[in-house]
Structure formats: C-alpha cells, structure tokens
C-alpha cells in the first residue's frame, strides 16, 4: 500500500479502528458532541471484573502510606491549626513500577482475548514498560515507539532509562528524534503488523485507572473513617486524573476535591529540537497538561477517553527545583526512594497541605519506580550539559530551560494556581473551532444543538450560562 504521508494519514481512521476494535464513528453527534459515556461502555468490563483482571497479573492493591514525617515538616511552616495529613499511594509496587500497569493490564488482556498477536504503544515514558511487562506475562509480542533524541542524537537520561526497562521485558523499542514523525511511524507499524493499539487514551486504559481512585477511597475510609478531602494527581495527557476521578466517584467519594498538578515548563515547546533537552521532566508538565486539557482529541485515537476538565476541581503548577527537593525529602524523611513523576504531585501536596486544616487529609495519588536515569544527579548533570544553571534559592525565580532553583527552605515550596475558567473557555473554543476545521459546520455564526450544549457543559464542568457567554465572545471576536 502507498505509505506516503498523505496516503497513510488518509487511512488513519481505518487503521485505528482495526487496531483498537472500536468504531468511534458510532459515538459521534452531528456537529460537536459525541457520547462519552457510551464510548466508555466499550470497555465491556465492570469495575470488579477489571480488578480481577489486574490482580491476575499482580497489578493493583498497592499500599497507602501515611507520610507522618513530611506532615510534621508541613506543620512546622503552617499557621496554627493548619497542615493536613499527607498520604501516598505507592504505585511503584506494581510489576512495571508505576500506576500505568493498571492501564496496560486491561489493554493487553483485551488484546489477547480478541486474538491479537502483539501490542504496540507510542510513549517515551513508564507506559511503555507497563505494556511490555503485561505483554510478557500474556505471551504477546510488543513494540514501543519512543520519541527519544534531538537531531544531534542526544537523549535524555530518563527516557533512555525507560527504553532499557522496555527491552528488559522483551519489547522491541523503536527510537525516534523529536518531531511529527512519531505518529506517522506508529501508524505505519500498526498497519504493517496488525497489532493492537494499546493507547494511553482508549477506554480500556482509562478504566484501568478507575481502580486506583476506588482503592484510594476504600483504604482511606479504613484508615481515617472518611474519604480524603483532596487527591492530588500528576497531570500530563489527562488519563491519570480522568481515571482516578471516575474511580473516586464510583466509590461514592463525590465530595473529594480532585487537583491536577504539573511542572511549570512555560516557554518551552515540546516539539522543539532545541527545547527537547532543556527540560528535566519528560511527563507531568504543562507542555502536555495544558494542551491536552484544552483539546483532548490530539492523541493516537480518534476520540480520547482522557478528558480531565470534566473532573478537575483545581489545577496547580510546581517548579522543577521544588520537585527535586521533594524527591530527596521523601527519601531522607520517609525512606522511600521514588522517581520524579509522582513527586510532582507530592510537591504540590506539600504546599496545599499548608492551606488545609490539621484534621483534613490529602492523598498523593501515585509514585513511580526510580532508576539510573531518573535519579536527581543524572538529571541535574544533564541539565548543566545543556546550559541550564543550577542554584539554591527561591524557586519562584526559576526560568524553565534556563535555570533550576532548588528551594533553600521547604517554606518556599508554593504551588501556583492556573486559571481553570480560562482553560474551560479555551476548551469550548477549541472544540467548536476543531469541529469547523473537520468540516462538520460551515456556519459563520456558531449554531449549537441542545446536545452540543449539554456536551460542552459536561466537557468543561461548567454551566449553560458559562457556555453561552463563551460562545457569544467567540462570535463577537
């Protein structure tokens, strides 16, 4: 078949349909809307069935640990009566060392059930290791397509570390330079092999994370007699937050506030060859968190099941130096050496706990394994090699891509709120404009159906008035 770029992209939807086994067209409305909950029903397994699938491959039921020493440190820098108890869900206990084993367990199980000979995923992170681990357990072949190097062949220590882990589980790793070729090569391989697309963004992947939210609620009720007051989730593509929040709701924890946390990488472009190696975090940063929140359907499936603004109550950022500080604090004070991604939400929780009452609880939703490329020193050494200055001082003065400032005191760790209202407006505008670009609407004036309004209200977790006002502003611009 013609594998030229335009020809291959023209077959994109057919390739995806064969590789996932889902007809995404069956969920589509006439204009903007689609039936999200109907799409999620394509999982075909109940929450209890998913828990059994995960248990059969040693996934889930991970420890929930109270971080008593970090809580005591928080209270040293809090006003009287402040300083929430901090708990941590230790997802590093999963076979591949991260919560993404939950996503992979469902996808790989389903692929084997449907008779696929192999599975494939496009990821530079922990998900590749999770898919490779589960594929090894189920006897399936595995290919991981990884964006790894800049144009000079320099790769980040953390990404290279994850490639080694994928290979250790028997996966073939296809490594690419940063740029738009990742999706093209991924599509080409899917078509050539006929493998299952174990995407991060299918309903299977998101449903796998629901068990994490459910476990947090169940275990916190056992330990404290109530649901957590807040759960902090590291946010990148949005699946982690979406799945956790849905699991909390299925457990009845509808009063728990769900807060997303990302590393502030403002000013760095994720597809830039120059910027690629000037960031010390390959996931959980604003370069993924904001674009995917305000336009979820930018992934490797026609409709993403990760839609974080449906569930997010608050969104904060932390700086790189603050996360490095908390990584070491977790090891020194709690005896837990864990990798960088989960420590993003830990840094945010350390700050947010100071706002909360001492009788309240805050849960850091996940940890990840650590290894040679994920440790603080190789990350900081690599940053120096790429011209990033390392200093100790006030992290609020950090400039992404130019400096990393380790806090001189834990009192300086301060999560910064993002404007969720602006993000919700951006989401509504992007969904409408994207619909026009797709040829679904040629009207100069936006004419939304009742179904479109209901969809946008749910997508943005807002109100009819909010959506109508946003549309009016669009029409007047």
User: The dihedral of CA 220, 249, 101, 364: what is its sign?
Assistant: negative
Q: What is the pLDDT of residue 140?
A: 98
Q: Tokens 């099941």, residue?
A: 305
Q: What angle do CA 426, 431, 437 make, to 5 degrees?
A: 120
Contact between 76 and 70 under an 8 Å Cβ cutoff? The reply is: no
* In the predicted structure, residue 204 carries a pLDDT above the cut 90: yes
Q: How many CA atoms lie within 13 A of 7 on its CB side?
A: 6
- d(C-alpha 358, C-alpha 224), whole Å: 13
Q: What is the pLDDT of residue 445?
A: 61
- Binning pLDDT at 50, 70 and 90, where does residue 446 land? low
N-terminal to C-terminal alpha carbon distance within the chain = 45
Query: Tens digits of per-residue pLDDT, 12-24?
Result: 888 988 999 999 9
Query: Tens digits of per-residue pLDDT, 342-375?
Result: 999 999 999 999 999 999 999 999 999 998 888 9
Query: Tens digits of per-residue pLDDT, 274-332?
Result: 888 899 888 899 999 999 999 999 888 889 999 999 999 999 999 999 999 999 999 99
Contact between 248 and 258 under an 8 Å Cβ cutoff? The reply is: yes
Mean pLDDT of 446-471: 94
Helix (H) or strand (E) holding 320: helix 320-334
Helix axes 100-114, 47-56, angle to 10 degrees: 90
Q: What is the pLDDT of residue 260?
A: 98
Residues in the chain: 477
User: The dihedral of CA 220, 221, 227, 229: what is its sign?
Assistant: negative
Reduced to 3 states (helix: H, G, I; strand: E, B; else coil), residue 366 is: coil
Reduced to 3 states (helix: H, G, I; strand: E, B; else coil), residue 306 is: coil
Q: Strand locations in 394-439, DSSP E?
A: 403-407, 416-417
- Work out the percent of the chain whose per-residue pLDDT is above 70: 98
Query: Tens digits of per-residue pLDDT, 75-95?
Result: 999 999 999 999 999 999 999
**The two three-digit tokens of residue 34, written as one number:** 């689609």
Q: What does pLDDT average to over the chain?
A: 94
- d(C-alpha 245, C-alpha 238), whole Å: 11
- Binning pLDDT at 50, 70 and 90, where does residue 242 land? very high
- Binning pLDDT at 50, 70 and 90, where does residue 441 land? very low
Contact between 117 and 140 under an 8 Å Cβ cutoff? The reply is: yes
Q: How far is CA 102 from CA 60, 352, 425, in A?
A: 7, 27, 32
Q: How many CA atoms lie within 13 A of 201 on its CB side?
A: 22
Q: What is the pLDDT of residue 130?
A: 97
User: The dihedral of CA 324, 362, 237, 173: what is its sign?
Assistant: positive
Contact between 316 and 418 under an 8 Å Cβ cutoff? The reply is: yes
Q: Taking Cα atoms as reference points, which of 22, 35, 462 lies closest to residue 201? A: 22
Q: What is the pLDDT of residue 155?
A: 86
Query: Tens digits of per-residue pLDDT, 138-168?
Result: 999 999 999 888 888 888 888 888 899 999 9
Higher-confidence residue of 201 and 438: namely 201
Contact between 197 and 104 under an 8 Å Cβ cutoff? The reply is: no
- d(C-alpha 170, C-alpha 135), whole Å: 9
Query: Tens digits of per-residue pLDDT, 403-428?
Result: 999 999 999 999 999 999 999 999 99
Higher-confidence residue of 440 and 361: namely 361
Q: Taking Cα atoms as reference points, which of 311, 294, 304 lies closest to residue 254? A: 311
Q: What is the pLDDT of residue 436?
A: 59
């Amino acid at each position: 078949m013609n594998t030229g770029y335009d020809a291959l992209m023209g077959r994109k939807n057919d390739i995806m349909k064969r590789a996932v086994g889902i007809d995404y067209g069956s969920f589509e409305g006439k204009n903007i809307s689609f039936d999200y909950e109907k799409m999620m029903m394509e999982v075909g397994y109940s929450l209890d069935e998913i828990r059994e699938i995960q248990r059969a491959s040693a996934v889930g039921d991970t420890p929930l640990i109270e971080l008593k020493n970090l809580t005591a440190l928080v209270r040293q820098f809090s006003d009287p009566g402040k300083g929430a108890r901090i708990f941590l869900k230790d997802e590093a206990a999963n076979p591949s060392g991260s919560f993404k084993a939950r996503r992979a367990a469902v996808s790989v199980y389903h692929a084997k059930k449907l008779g696929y000979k192999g599975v494939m995923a496009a990821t530079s992170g922990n998900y590749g290791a999770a898919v490779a681990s589960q594929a090894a357990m189920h006897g399936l072949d595995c290919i991981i397509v990884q964006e790894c190097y800049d144009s000079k062949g320099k790769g980040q220590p953390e990404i290279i570390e994850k490639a080694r882990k994928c290979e250790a589980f028997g996966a073939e790793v296809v490594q690419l330079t940063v740029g738009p070729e990742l999706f093209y090569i991924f599509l080409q391989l899917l078509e050539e092999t006929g493998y299952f697309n174990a995407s991060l963004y299918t309903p299977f992947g998101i449903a796998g994370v629901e068990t994490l939210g459910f476990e947090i609620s169940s275990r916190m009720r056992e330990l404290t007699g109530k649901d957590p007051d807040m759960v902090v989730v590291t946010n990148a593509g949005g699946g982690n937050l979406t799945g956790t929040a849905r699991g909390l709701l299925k457990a009845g924890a509808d009063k728990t506030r769900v807060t997303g946390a990302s590393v502030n990488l403002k000013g760095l472009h994720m597809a830039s060859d120059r910027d690629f190696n000037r960031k010390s975090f390959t996931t959980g940063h604003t370069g993924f968190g904001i674009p995917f929140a305000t336009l979820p359907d930018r992934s490797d499936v026609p409709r993403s099941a990760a839609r974080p603004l449906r569930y997010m109550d608050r969104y904060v950022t932390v700086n790189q130096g603050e996360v490095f500080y908390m990584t070491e604090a977790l090891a020194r004070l709690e005896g837990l050496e864990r990798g960088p991604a989960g420590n993003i939400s830990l840094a945010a929780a350390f700050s947010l706990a100071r706002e909360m009452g001492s009788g309240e609880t805050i849960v850091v939703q996940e940890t990840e394994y650590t290894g040679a490329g994920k440790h603080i020193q190789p990350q900081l050494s690599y940053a120096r090699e790429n011209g990033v200055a390392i200093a100790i001082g006030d992290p609020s003065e950090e400039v992404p891509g130019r400096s990393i400032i380790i806090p001189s005191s834990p009192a300086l760790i301060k999560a910064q709120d993002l404007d969720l209202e602006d993000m919700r407006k951006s989401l509504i505008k992007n969904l409408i404009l994207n619909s026009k670009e797709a040829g679904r609407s040629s009207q100069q004036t936006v004419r939304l159906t009742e179904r479109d309004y209901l969809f946008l209200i749910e997508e943005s977790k807002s109100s009819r008035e909010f959506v109508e006002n946003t549309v009016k502003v669009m029409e007047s611009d």
